[in-house]
Structure 1
Amino acid sequence: MIVGIDPGQTGGIAGIANTGECLAIPMPVMGKDIDGHEIAARLKVLRPDMVILEKVHAMPKQGVSSTFKFGMGFGLVIGVCEALSIPYRLVTPQAWKKVVLAGTAKDKDAAVAFVRRAYPSIDLTPGRKRVPHDGMADAVCLAEYGRQQLKLEVTA
């Protein structure tokens, strides 16, 4: 099982099993904060061999408070992985998009289109959402990146 995590409140968590079966959920939140207990509970159930976490950084013109909160969520996910002894890799958006979204515009719409094509069983509009959840789509793409990279490492 490879798990991809798009950190942030509007992010997502996705897993791809060795069988090719895929699942995805929005990032668990409690109130206005990422729910670390729920992330830990999900990872305990999934028992991933590896977590692929999008490597994030502060963006220009982003507020100090929102940047701090975003960084807190990112650190929380790393802390959960460390506490559960789950190996993880930090991957830049440019790296995973180059592999998974090759030949596309490499934007949010391309990630949604990839998931709909490669994993049609994933519902990107959970609950009452009308617009596809791009955080879940990115998480699936991160998991797919990890699956492809680990397959390359095993054959090398």
Structure 2
Amino acid sequence: MLLCCVSLQDIDTDKVYDAFVSYTVQDYEFVVHTLLPELENSFKICHHERDFIGGEWIHNQIQEKVEQSRRTIIVLTEEFLNSYWGMTEFHTAHAQAMRDNCARIIILILGDMPPQEAIPDEMKAYMSMNTYIKWGEKWFWEKLKYALPHPPSKPIHEFPME
């Protein structure tokens, strides 16, 4: 369940991407061969391998790409929790969600749930207030796509303005 206290349509009009995907190198195969092919049929996904600019500061690019994305998908594993860059991406996305007063992070559990003592308090708090999705569970793709942004509704009938 993603609840927002402000209208996402208002604050997301300038966003380039529907989602930024954050993961570790150990999860590369899953992300590139399973997650991205399914999502990129319907959503514009920011993938650092393709969308980061070579030679630019990584911290700056993380900040920029998270700000340009409507959601951040965290592929959560124990390796992710031990990854400097993964946790930097989580903290950046969490700060953006706090600034926007909106749940922008989608946590996707890949494999076993990491031990509770390994999960930082900030992430535990976020997970206690927002639904996370586990790879392999029933309706996984439907739940993930539901958590991603939807295009604005179009009126059933359009009447010409005179």
TM-score normalized with structure 1 length: 0.30
- Bigger Rg over Cα: 2
Identify the structure with bigger relative contact order (alpha carbons < 8 Å, sequence gap 6+).
Answer: 1
